[in-house]
Structure 1
Amino acid sequence: MQQEIDRKLQEQLVATYLKLAEALAAQDWEEIGKVNVQVNEWLLKMEQHKEPSESLVQLKRQLQRLHGSALDACVDECEKLRKTLLTQLEYAEGRSAYTRVDML
């Protein structure tokens, strides 16, 4: 019974890992968010599994490393977006200044 639970968790973990790797490669931020929810669900299941096999623990570590890379990529993307929005705000302020001057 324990081996069957372990096998199912491994299958779920591998599927989650592959989804996350694919989403990260495609820079699909929405999909990464969805996979993040799946990672959370998987970790909750793992928490209930009292004695995971060594292979399951290894797979978890691999997912953890990939998940960390995805988090770093999301942080980088958010920073790019922040800079883009800041630039757009600066442009808007310039256009607004012209409008104010034209009104004088």
Structure 2
Amino acid sequence: MNRVFDVAVRAEASLGEGPTWDAAADRLIWVDILGSRVHTYAPGDGRRTVMATEQHVGAAKPRAGGGLVVNLRDGIGLYGPGGAPFTWLVRDPVPGRRG
């Protein structure tokens, strides 16, 4: 059986992972763990964003009120809606911990 796949968005990543569909914002979210980046892509208008995080990022998920919750090496943080600044929800740095 031959299958044909379309590429939704071309993006490079050192270690891309964790695709999540954000139904409220009609966008795809995924992370580049080693590149410390959170990517989004909205197929309706083609808009893409790339947010740099201050350390390795293991996951990014949408928040009910907008923005994102992210798992970083040293804990869990929040990005508010509309580009609000990053805040730590829980910060627990442990030397040698991998994000």
**Do both share a fold (TM > 0.5)?**
no
Which structure's CA Rg is the greater one?
1
| Larger RCO, structure (CA 8 Å, separation 6 or more) | 1
Question: What TM-score comes out, normalization by structure 2 length?
Answer: 0.25
Greater per-residue helix proportion: 1
